[in-house]
C-alpha cells in the first residue's frame, strides 16, 4: 500500500454552526460513516497559517518567544501567521511574517514541510518554509498585544533539535520545522520542494 495522504470526503448530511469568532468558526457536522451510521464531529474551521524556519549561514535557526494564552506559556516559535491577506501567495505571506516579526528578508525559499495541526478537530493547514540567504531589514511594522517585546534569538540547528526532543520547545510548527530542516540538511536541502509547490 502506498503511504501517502489522499483526498476523500465522506457525506455530510447536516452541519450546524456553533460559534463564529474573529479567526475561527466551530461547526458540528453529521457525517455518514461506514455501515450507514451517522456520527457528529465538531470541527474548528481555520483559514490556515504559514511559518518560517529562517536559517543563517552558520546554520542557526531564528526563533522568537511569544505569549500563548491558551497554553499559559511563553513559547519559543518560528515567525508565523494566519493566512489572512486575500490573494497573497503562501510564500509571500511567509516573507511578510518574517519581515514583520523578526525584521529579516530571505533571498532563497523552499517548502520545508506541510502540516495538519490537529486533524481530528480542525481543518487548519500549516506550511513551514525554509528561508535562507538572510538580510536584516528595517520595518515600520507596529507590534501589538502578544508581539510587544518579542525577543529574537539564534539557535544552532543541532541545539534546536535537542531542545525539541528534550521537551523544551512545544510549538508544533517549530518542532516539525526544526526536525525537518535537520533531516533535509543531510542532503544539503537538495530534496526540498520549491516554495510554490502545490498544497494538498
Query: Per-residue pLDDT tens for 152-165?
Result: 999 999 999 999 99
Residue-wise pLDDT tens for the chain (200 aa)? Answer: 899 999 999 999 999 999 999 999 999 999 999 998 999 999 999 999 999 999 999 999 999 999 998 899 999 999 999 999 999 999 999 999 999 999 999 999 999 999 999 999 999 999 999 999 999 998 766 656 566 677 899 999 999 999 999 999 999 999 999 999 999 999 999 999 999 999 97
Active-site choice (37, 147, 162, 199): 147
Q: What is the dihedral of CA 103, 109, 115, 117, to 10 degrees?
A: 10
Contact 27, 45 (CB under 8 A): yes
In this structure, what are the phi and psi dihedrals at residue 81, rounded to the nearest 5 degrees? -170, 170
Strand order in the sheet with 12-20: 12-20, 25-32, 38-45
- In this predicted model, what pLDDT tens digit does every residue of 72-114 receive, in sequence order? 999 999 999 999 999 999 999 999 999 999 999 999 999 999 9
147 catalytic residue (yes or no): yes
For residue 60, the surrounding DSSP H or E stretch is: strand 60-68
Amino acid at each position: 500500500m502506498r503511504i501517502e495522504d489522499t483526498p476523500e470526503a465522506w457525506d455530510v448530511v447536516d452541519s450546524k454552526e456553533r460559534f463564529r469568532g474573529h479567526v475561527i468558526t466551530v461547526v458540528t457536522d453529521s457525517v455518514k460513516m461506514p455501515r450507514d451510521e451517522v456520527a457528529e464531529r465538531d470541527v474548528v474551521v481555520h483559514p490556515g497559517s504559514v511559518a518560517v524556519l529562517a536559517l543563517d549561514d552558520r546554520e542557526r535557526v531564528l526563533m522568537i518567544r511569544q505569549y500563548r494564552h491558551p497554553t499559559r506559556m511563553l513559547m519559543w516559535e518560528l515567525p508565523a501567521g494566519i493566512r489572512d491577506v486575500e490573494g497573497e501567495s503562501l510564500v509571500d505571506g511567509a516573507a511578510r511574517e518574517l519581515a514583520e516579526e523578526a525584521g529579516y528578508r530571505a533571498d532563497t525559499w523552499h517548502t520545508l514541510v506541510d502540516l495538519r495541526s490537529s486533524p481530528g478537530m480542525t481543518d487548519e493547514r500549516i506550511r513551514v518554509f525554509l528561508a535562507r540567504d538572510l538580510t536584516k531589514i528595517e520595518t515600520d511594522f507596529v507590534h501589538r498585544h502578544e508581539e510587544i517585546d518579542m525577543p529574537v534569538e539564534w539557535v544552532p540547528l543541532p541545539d534546536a533539535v535537542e531542545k525539541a526532543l528534550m521537551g523544551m520547545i512545544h510549538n508544533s510548527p517549530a518542532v516539525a520545522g526544526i526536525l525537518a530542516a535537520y533531516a533535509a540538511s543531510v542532503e544539503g536541502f537538495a530534496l526540498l520542494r520549491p516554495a510554490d509547490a502545490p498544497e494538498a
